């Protein structure tokens, strides 16, 4: 093609391609429309249900263009009004958080300015924000300044980074794998075992550490297991403790477990994905020893109430993390001389990634830490309030949790598991507040997780009323 032809073709293409770079007036209109939509959504949160089960309509990408108004209507109907309303105060299942608004503003700014936060060379400012968030986390959890960290998409990927570092530091490969032992609690989150599988450690030996009646690891039993394994010539490797279990809200005795890990020179990992930020509250003594972990994960999209999509990992041994994640390539040579640890990409499997640091940094700077701490303290009181209320209407409760997750069941005289399942179904059918279920010690239980920042006493009152209402239906249906 000659130059004139190229220019003519470019002019033709520009008629369509320039549509992606919309002018200011249109930008304003669109942003206003989205702001109106999100305001209506937020204003309605107290009135809408926590859970709505429904068939989803057609969301396929259409050949013809659609209007933003039409798409927002569709979004509201098919996305916002279906399933769990995770922004709502009434999400009390799994592990909620809510999604603070100022983090959404940060995401908007990050997406519009689109800095390449993964490499210090490419965006020193964005990389520094990521690193300052990590520095703040190090100070919250008393990790040493020379430890490293990374902002991931969530707890599962953070675990992957931590375990990979552990694997590489302890050189767990080839014939050593089937002799290698990992110690964890039955209450550990499944992302731990999933991560082991993903990083090629599927064939390690898993030892479940005996727990006390509060679902906490018994350090003495852990020590005994390790001794026995050593006497059989096995290779004890990794201990996983949890600071806030998903089902029971338990914090394992972190400091005593650290003693065992240190004595046997094992890698000590703590999962604080759900519970970690409660270290900022009056319950901080329960976290004693957390700073002794080799690796720690914490999820700002849980305990800092940020929208889904940001987890964090801290690791003491920088070289272990670099070993698996730092790589060079010819096309990356311009940035090679930059400080290794200033580029998030060197500490993570991700190269190009969302600039997550901003959605943590901006809310913390705008609000200060106090409102976050107050929200967490609130949740600790709300779980106690909920348990009292439920006890008053005849429910059995799991042991008093350390944090804001607890479980319960109704003591039906016969077929208790079946009838509690029925109760769970009624609760889901009702949907005014969302709860989820689990199996603990082979028993079907309903669990409540109070962590969404918008959840207040009124929400808990609504939850108790709903549970009582659903219980009545189950009791009546079983009479007939
Ligand atoms: C204790 C704990 N660890 C890890 C995870 C996994 O985190 P994510 O869902 O962000 O991958 C969860 C999720 O609920 C959790 O509760």
Residue 401: burial class (beta carbons within 10 Å; 0-12, 13-18, 19+): buried
- From 99, 251, 252, 273, mutation site for ligand 1 pocket: most ligand atoms within 8 A of C-beta: 273
Give residue-wise pLDDT tens across range 323-344: 999 987 777 776 665 678 999 9
Distance CA 432, CA 262 (A): 48
* CA–centroid distance, residue 156 to ligand 1 (Å): 6
Distance CA 251, CA 144 (A): 22
**Residues within a 6 A CB radius of ligand 1:** 95, 154-156, 189, 191, 242, 246, 271, 273-274, 299, 311
- 446 near 420, Cβ under 8 Å? yes
**Cα distances (angstroms) measured from residue 369 to each of 58, 360, 366:** 42, 11, 9
What would the DSSP string read from start to end of 279-310? GGSTTGGGGTTGGG-SEEEE-HHHHT-PPSS-
β-pairing, 205-208 vs 180-184, is parallel
CATH code of the domain made up of 370-479: 3.90.1150.10
- Closest atom of ligand 1 relative to the 299 alpha carbon: 10
* CA–centroid distance, residue 191 to ligand 1 (Å): 7
- State the pLDDT at residue 336: 61
CA atoms 230, 235, 237, 239: torsion sign: negative
- Reduced 3-state DSSP string for 12-23: HHHHHHHHHCCC
Give residue-wise pLDDT tens across range 91-116: 999 999 999 999 999 999 999 999 99
Strand partners, 242: 271
- State the pLDDT at residue 331: 74
Strands (E), 198-320: 205-208, 235-242, 267-272, 295-298, 311-315
- From 246, 403, 447, mutation site for ligand 1 pocket: most ligand atoms within 8 A of C-beta: 246
**Based on C-alpha coordinates, what's the Rg of the chain?**
25
CA dihedral 76, 79, 81, 86 (to 10 degrees): -120
- State the pLDDT at residue 338: 60
* CA–centroid distance, residue 9 to ligand 1 (Å): 51
Distance CA 30, CA 414 (A): 58
* CA–centroid distance, residue 302 to ligand 1 (Å): 9
Distance CA 290, CA 203 (A): 28
Fold category of 107-367 in CATH: 3.40.640
| Residue 178 CB neighbours (<10 A) | 11
- Closest atom of ligand 1 relative to the 95 alpha carbon: 14
Question: Is the predicted pLDDT of residue 183 greater than 60, yes or no?
Answer: yes
Residue 14: burial class (beta carbons within 10 Å; 0-12, 13-18, 19+): exposed
* CA–centroid distance, residue 64 to ligand 1 (Å): 40
- Closest atom of ligand 1 relative to the 188 alpha carbon: 1
Give residue-wise pLDDT tens across range 49-89: 999 999 999 999 999 999 999 999 999 999 999 999 999 99
- State the pLDDT at residue 80: 96
- From 92, 190, 191, 311, mutation site for ligand 1 pocket: most ligand atoms within 8 A of C-beta: 191
Kind and range of the H or E element at 448?
Answer: strand 443-449
Distance CA 363, CA 55 (A): 36
Distance CA 451, CA 461 (A): 16
Distance CA 470, CA 423 (A): 6
* CA–centroid distance, residue 274 to ligand 1 (Å): 6
- Map residue 83 onto helix, strand or coil: strand
Residue 17: burial class (beta carbons within 10 Å; 0-12, 13-18, 19+): exposed
- Residue-range domain boundaries for the chain: 107-367, 370-479
Average pLDDT value for the chain: 96
Question: Is the predicted pLDDT of residue 34 greater than 60, yes or no?
Answer: yes
Phi/psi class of residue 289: alpha, beta or left (left: φ > 0; alpha: ψ in -120 to 50)?
Answer: left
Question: Is the predicted pLDDT of residue 40 greater than 70, yes or no?
Answer: yes
- Closest atom of ligand 1 relative to the 301 alpha carbon: 10
- State the pLDDT at residue 330: 77
Question: Is the predicted pLDDT of residue 362 greater than 60, yes or no?
Answer: yes
| Residue 477 CB neighbours (<10 A) | 11
pTM of the predicted protein model: 0.97
Question: Is the predicted pLDDT of residue 354 greater than 70, yes or no?
Answer: yes
- 37 near 72, Cβ under 8 Å? yes
Please state the rounded mean pLDDT for residues 34-52.
96
Same fold, 107-367 and 370-479: no
Structure letter (DSSP) for residue 190: T
* CA–centroid distance, residue 275 to ligand 1 (Å): 10
Residue nearest atom 4 of ligand 1, based on CA coordinates: 155
What would the DSSP string read from start to end of 22-49? --HHHHHHHHHHHHHHHHHHHHTTTTS-
Question: Is the predicted pLDDT of residue 480 greater than 80, yes or no?
Answer: no
Distance CA 134, CA 89 (A): 29
Strand partners, 267: 238
* CA–centroid distance, residue 122 to ligand 1 (Å): 31
Give residue-wise pLDDT tens across range 129-176: 999 999 999 999 999 999 999 999 999 999 999 999 999 999 999 999
- State the pLDDT at residue 311: 98
- Closest atom of ligand 1 relative to the 155 alpha carbon: 7
């Amino acid at each position: 093609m000659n130059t004139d032809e190229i220019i003519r073709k470019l002019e033709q293409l520009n008629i369509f391609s320039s549509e992606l770079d919309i002018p200011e007036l249109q930008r304003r209109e669109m942003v206003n429309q989205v702001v109106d939509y999100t305001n209506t959504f937020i204003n309605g949160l107290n009135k809408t249900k926590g859970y709505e089960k429904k068939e989803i309509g057609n969301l396929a990408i259409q050949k013809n263009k659609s209007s933003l108004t039409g798409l927002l209507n569709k979004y509201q109907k098919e996305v916002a009004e279906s399933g769990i309303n995770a922004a709502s105060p009434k999400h009390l299942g799994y592990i909620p958080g809510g999604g603070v608004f100022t983090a959404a503003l940060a995401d908007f700014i990050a997406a519009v300015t689109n800095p390449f936060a993964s490499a210090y060379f490419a965006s020193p400012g964005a990389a520094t924000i990521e690193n300052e968030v990590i520095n703040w986390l190090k100070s919250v959890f008393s990790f040493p300044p020379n430890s490293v960290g990374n902002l991931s998409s969530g707890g599962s990927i953070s675990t992957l980074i931590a375990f990979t570092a552990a694997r590489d530091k302890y050189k767990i490969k080839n014939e050593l794998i089937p002799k290698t032992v990992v110690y964890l609690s039955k209450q550990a989150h499944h992302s731990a075992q999933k991560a082991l599988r993903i990083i090629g450690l599927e064939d390690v030996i898993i030892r479940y550490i005996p727990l006390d009646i509060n679902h906490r690891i018994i350090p003495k039993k852990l020590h005994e297991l390790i001794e026995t394994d050593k006497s059989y010539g096995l290779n004890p490797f990794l201990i996983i403790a949890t600071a806030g279990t998903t089902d029971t809200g338990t914090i394992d005795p972190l400091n005593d477990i650290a003693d065992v890990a240190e004595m046997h020179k094992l890698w000590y990992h703590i999962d604080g994905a759900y519970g970690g930020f409660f270290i900022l509250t009056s319950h901080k003594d329960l976290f004693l020893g957390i700073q002794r972990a080799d690796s720690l994960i914490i999820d700002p999209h849980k305990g800092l109430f940020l929208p889904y999509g940001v987890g964090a990992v801290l690791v003491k041994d920088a070289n272990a993390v670099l070993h698996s994640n730092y790589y060079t390539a010819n096309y990356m040579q311009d940035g090679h001389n930059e400080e290794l640890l200033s580029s998030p990409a060197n500490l993570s499997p991700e190269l190009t990634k969302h600039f997550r640091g901003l959605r943590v940094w901006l809310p913390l700077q705008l609000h200060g830490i106090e409102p976050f701490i107050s929200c967490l303290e609130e949740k600790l009181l709300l779980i106690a309030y909920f348990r009292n209320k439920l006890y008053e209407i005849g429910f059995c409760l799991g042991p008093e949790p350390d944090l804001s997750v607890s479980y319960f069941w109704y003591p039906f005289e016969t077929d208790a598991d079946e009838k509690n399942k029925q109760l769970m179904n009624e609760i889901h059918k009702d949907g005014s507040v969302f709860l989820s279920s689990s199996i603990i010690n082979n028993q079907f239980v309903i669990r409540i997780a109070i962590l969404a920042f918008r959840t207040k006493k009124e929400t808990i009152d609504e939850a108790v009323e709903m549970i009582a209402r659903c219980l009545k239906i189950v009791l009546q249906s079983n009479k007939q």
